[in-house]
Every structure is written in structure tokens, then in C-alpha cells.
């Protein structure tokens, strides 16, 4: 894969890969998310992501939402702890239309008061829908336990109280403090020549004022392992087990990615799936996740099981973790694990949108992008000793936190 790079005078970076498809995928990503909010602003970044579709200086909500959909395109956005992204898939002939729309909603949004009131109600419904889904809510609550008192632990959606009192002036203050052009990346995966992408990007983004971020992220440095149990309605008991892990630049990050994939990744042959779900039939869902942030990371195992099987299932999870800390993977096991992960990554890159988002994030954070060959090399260079070292640091039972949603429903 060959990636092309360019930086506009205002600091906005471009990354591009030319394909033979008739469809293109484009993303505008900014290095701002929910962890950049003050406590009273919790939910602000996500609210802004919703509101940029509600009106600009030249478009109303209907015209924004119809601009790409009228030509068969797909427009969307999302917010995470550390980034906000607008993205679209469309026929290649509509690149001009797409970039013009991205620039309009990113820099000319007016956040109309009437629309703001309506969208607050939508987000309050979204918050309530999460509370109705314990298998999703438990992840947010677990992060709040692990990162207690820190912005990175707060729910991206915010609280009903905060959302209700946010004003238009609050939004403009947050934007001026947190959005910076030198922390923005536009990625494009599609059949267009790079010079066309550069020309159109300069036309619509080149005249944007050079914005500078004035806020500083507060590092997280006060983790204390905790265990909590909460009663919830429902027939299943839900449990999360985890610990701090490695940040985006840590030398053991790729070892942790591989370790997580072996333990509880998406493959049906993951250790947790084979040795707990398949062997004993205790869980419908059991999986693990590793998230790396700019200055920290999080590893978490999730399981949902019948209350009668909960304690036994937790014991089996700890047994699997101990295997990684006490015994190194054999050469054949390690080879198979690496082949599986590189295959999964290659398949994910077959999705043009997945690639556009991945390269935007990588370019935003590291200023360069690893192609599939580079990623495969990084994975293949992970040693069994590195896997064991990562396991010993992250799977240390004295450092693990646990959150349980106990079933309060009697069968």
C-alpha cells in the first residue's frame, strides 16, 4: 500500500490511498473527545458531534442530511474519549460535494437554539437506552471505577443534568478551547488521484483560520484497584474484570494487542470462548478488549452468565489469566496467533471505511501510517517473553478491578 501525505498551511493534514473501486471513503478526524471536557461539560463533545448536522450559515438540517444521501452516499459521525470524526462513503464522482459539506459543518455550524433543545432530548433518550442495556452500561461504569475522578472515566454521553443545562455559548467556548487545525486529519481511500484530493481540500479547507488548542489534557496517575457489586434487574449477571494497560506509544502495546486477541478476541477459538463457553456452557458472551489512549490504556474482560454460574466463571477467567503469566507460548502457538491476528487485520482493511478511519487516527497521533506489511512486521516481531511480560503487568491479580451487575430477577 502506498499512502500520500500533504499538510495545508493551517496545519490540517491529508492522507490518501488510491484504489480501483468506484466508491470512496473519507473521514475528517480531530484529536478532541470527551476526556477534554471539564466536569460540568461532560457530554459536550458528543453533543457537538450531533449538533454539527443541525445547521450552518448556509444550510438547514434537512439540506445537510440530504446533501450526500440524495446521491446515494452515507454520512455519519462519532465521538470517543479522545477523538471526534465525521465520515462518509460515496461514489467517487461526489468527492467535491463531500469535502465542501465536511468543511461547512466542521467550521460553519451555527448550533441553532431550537435544534439544540430538540437534540438534547434525543441524547437523553440515548442515555436511557444505555441504562436499559446492562451489557453496554457495565463498560461505562467499569471505566468510571478504574479512572475514578478523571475525565477519561466519564461516560461519553454525559449526564442528563449536564446535557440539560449546556447553552450555545458553552458550545462555542468549548470549541475555541479544544479544536485545533494542527490536530485535524482528512483521510481519503478511493479512486481519485492525489492531486485532485489536494486541490479540493485546499479549496474548501485551505482558507480556514489557523486554530490553536489552548487546553492541556490531565494525565491519569492514581489508579487504585476496586471491586464493586451492584444489583440490577434482569435474568443475567454481568461482570467486567480488568486493569490499566499500555498507552499508544508503549513498547509492549503490540504484545498486548496480540495477547488480548489470543485470550478473548473475536475469533471463536479464543481461550475464553473455548475454555469457558464451549467447555462448560456457562456464558453466551465472554470476550476481552484492549483500548490504548494517549497516556494510558485499559484491558477489560466482559462476561454475562446465569447467577448460579457467576463465581465459577470468574474463577475460570482467573485460571486463564494465570496461564499467560506462568507459562510462555510455544513456538507453534505463537506462530498461529500471529497469523490469526494479521489475517483479521487484512480482512478489516478490505473495508474502505475501516481503512480510512484507521489511517486518519494513525496519522493524527503519529504523523505516519503503517501499511499492512508494516503492521504484520510489528506483530511478527512480538516475542513470547514480551507476551509474558505484558501478561504479568496487566493480569496481576493484585492490580485487577471487578464490577458485577448481579441479577435481581428471580426465575
What integer is the mean pLDDT of 18-22? 96
What integer is the mean pLDDT of 175-194? 95
pLDDT score of 410: 61
pLDDT score of 407: 84
Question: pLDDT (tens digit, 9 = 90+) per residue, 377-410?
Answer: 999 999 999 999 999 999 999 999 999 999 877 6
Q: In CATH terms, are 4-205 and 227-407 the same topology?
A: yes
Give 53-113 as a 3 state SS string: CCEECCCEHHHHHHHHHCCCCEEEEEECCCCEEEEEEEEHHHHHHHHHHHHHHHHCECCCH
> The domain at 227-407 falls in which architecture?
2-Layer Sandwich (3.30)
CA angle 358, 271, 152 (to 5 degrees): 45
- Does pLDDT of 359 surpass 60? yes
Hey, what's the cell of 8?
A: 495545508
CA distance 42 to 40: 6
- Does pLDDT of 372 surpass 90? no
- Does pLDDT of 301 surpass 60? yes
Q: Cβ–Cβ contacts within 10 Å for residue 59, how many?
A: 20
CA distance 332 to 158: 46
CA distances from 208 to 177, 246, 270 (A): 16, 36, 48
Domain ranges for the chain: 4-205, 227-407
239 close to 310: Cβ distance less than 8 angstroms: yes
Extract long-range pairs of 232-236: CB within 8 Å, 24+ residues apart. 232/134, 232/405, 232/406, 232/407, 232/408, 233/407, 233/408, 233/409, 234/134, 234/405, 234/407, 234/408, 234/409, 235/306, 235/407, 235/409, 235/411, 236/134, 236/304, 236/305, 236/306, 236/307, 236/407
CATH label, 4-205, candidates 1.10.150.120, 3.30.830.10, 1.10.10.10, 3.30.465.10: 3.30.830.10
- Does pLDDT of 411 surpass 60? no
* Predicted TM-score of the model (pTM): 0.93
Q: How confident is the model at residue 371 (pLDDT cuts 50, 70, 90)?
A: confident
DSSP H or E segment with residue 402 = strand 401-407
Question: pLDDT (tens digit, 9 = 90+) per residue, 347-357?
Answer: 998 999 999 99
Amino acid at each position: 500500500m502506498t499512502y500520500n501525505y500533504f499538510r495545508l498551511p493551517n496545519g490540517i493534514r491529508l492522507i490518501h490511498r488510491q484504489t480501483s473501486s468506484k466508491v470512496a471513503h473519507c473521514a475528517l478526524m480531530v484529536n478532541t473527545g470527551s476526556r477534554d471536557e471539564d466536569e460540568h461539560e461532560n457530554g459536550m463533545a458528543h453533543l457537538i458531534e450531533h449538533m454539527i448536522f443541525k445547521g450552518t450559515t448556509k444550510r438547514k438540517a434537512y439540506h445537510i442530511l440530504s446533501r450526500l444521501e440524495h446521491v446515494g452516499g452515507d454520512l455519519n459521525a462519532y465521538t470517543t474519549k479522545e477523538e471526534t470524526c465525521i465520515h462518509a462513503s460515496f461514489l467517487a464522482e461526489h468527492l467535491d460535494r463531500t469535502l465542501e459539506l465536511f468543511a461547512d459543518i466542521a467550521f460553519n455550524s451555527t448550533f441553532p437554539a431550537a435544534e439544540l433543545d430538540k437534540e438534547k432530548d434525543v441524547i437523553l433518550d440515548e442515555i436511557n437506552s444505555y441504562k436499559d442495556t446492562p451489557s453496554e452500561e457495565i463498560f461505562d461504569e467499569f471505566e468510571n471505577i478504574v479512572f475514578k475522578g478523571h475525565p477519561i472515566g466519564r461516560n461519553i454521553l454525559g449526564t442528563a443534568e449536564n446535557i440539560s443545562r449546556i447553552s450555545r455559548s458553552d458550545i462555542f467556548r468549548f470549541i475555541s478551547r479544544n479544536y485545533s487545525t494542527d490536530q485535524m486529519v482528512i483521510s481519503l481511500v478511493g479512486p481519485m488521484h492525489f492531486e485532485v484530493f489536494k486541490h479540493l481540500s485546499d479549496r474548501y479547507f485551505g482558507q480556514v483560520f489557523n486554530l490553536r488548542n489552548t487546553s492541556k489534557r490531565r494525565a491519569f496517575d492514581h489508579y487504585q484497584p476496586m471491586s464493586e457489586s451492584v444489583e440490577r434487574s434482569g435474568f443475567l449477571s454481568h461482570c467486567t474484570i480488568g486493569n490499566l494497560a499500555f498507552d499508544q506509544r508503549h513498547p509492549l502495546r503490540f504484545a498486548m494487542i496480540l495477547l488480548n486477541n489470543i485470550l478473548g478476541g473475536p475469533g471463536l477459538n479464543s481461550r475464553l470462548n473455548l475454555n469457558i463457553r464451549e467447555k462448560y456452557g456457562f456464558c453466551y458472551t465472554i470476550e476481552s478488549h484492549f483500548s490504548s489512549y494517549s497516556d494510558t490504556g485499559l484491558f477489560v474482560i466482559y462476561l454475562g452468565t446465569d447467577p448460579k454460574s457467576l463465581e465459577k466463571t470468574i474463577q475460570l477467567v482467573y485460571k486463564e489469566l494465570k496461564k499467560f503469566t506462568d507459562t510462555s507460548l510455544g513456538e507453534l502457538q505463537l506462530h498461529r496467533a500471529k497469523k490469526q491476528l494479521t489475517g483479521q487485520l487484512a480482512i478489516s482493511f478490505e473495508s474502505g471505511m475501516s481503512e480510512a478511519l484507521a489511517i486518519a487516527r494513525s496519522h493524527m497521533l503519529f504523523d505516519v501510517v503503517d501499511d499492512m506489511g508494516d503492521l504484520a512486521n510489528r506483530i511478527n516481531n512480538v516475542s513470547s517473553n514480551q507476551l509474558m511480560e505484558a501478561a504479568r503487568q496487566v493480569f496481576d491479580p493484585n492490580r485487577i478491578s471487578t464490577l458485577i451487575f448481579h441479577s435481581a430477577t428471580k426465575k
